Structure 1
Amino acid sequence: MDMNYEKMIAVNRIESEQKIKLATMAIEQLIERGEYPSVTLLVKKTGLSRGFFYKNPEVRSRLDAAVQSPNVSCRRIWSESKDSKNDNTEALQMEIMEYKVRNRSLSQENEELRGQIEELKVQVEKLKSRIKKKELSMLKKL
């Protein structure tokens, strides 16, 4: 039993070391590309949990050092974010214009339908009066 326990601990230690290697390699790759090594990006890239990056002291210290690295371009991140916002703003403005055009079209259609409703109301009133006249004439015949 004592042997199995030691074997289990050894296996866990090896798995932990492999996870640490995987995490540090991912951090290094991001730094080499000049990308900001965020925990979210590292989780996606490695499949490891967020907690692993925060709780493992070795990985956490490597991540903190990477964030402070001069190779990580905060300006590029800011620029990409700004460009993304501009693209998004332009897309939203185009969408607003499309909705305004659609709104005008629907308003015009709505006015036309209201006009038709009024015409139909007039016709209904005329038909009602004709029916009353017919009823009266039929009653007179009786």
Structure 2
Amino acid sequence: MKYDKMIEITQAESQRKMEIARNAIADMLSNMERVTVAGLVRKTGLSRGFFYKNPTIREELDNAIRTQGACYNPRQVIIDKAMNNTLIILKSEIRKVKSQNEELVLKNEELSERNEQLCKEIETLKKQLKRKEVSLLKRL
């Protein structure tokens, strides 16, 4: 009975700490403060390990830092836009090259068929030439 009561108290305390951490993260975001673990430790009085080890709070912290990243790093925003433009350009080039490749494959097949036809025609012409030579030799 005492064990269950201790677990219940521990879980309640953990929930209280998580709520304090969530509120601190939300306050820092709304006040446009940079969200860091050190800042949260100062603000809440919770340990650094709590912010790193608690998976729920860690995820919320990472999301807050990610969303705030653009606000605090304008260079990253510019780099991201440039990379997106480059990605779009490269994707369009890939589409063009793929279509050219398909056209070339079809053209290659057509030329292979034509090559086979011409080889057959050459063989027939060689046979005809031999016959002519034989008939010429017979005349002599």
TM-score with structure 2 setting the length: 0.50
Larger RCO, structures 1/2 (Cα 8 Å, 6+ apart): 1
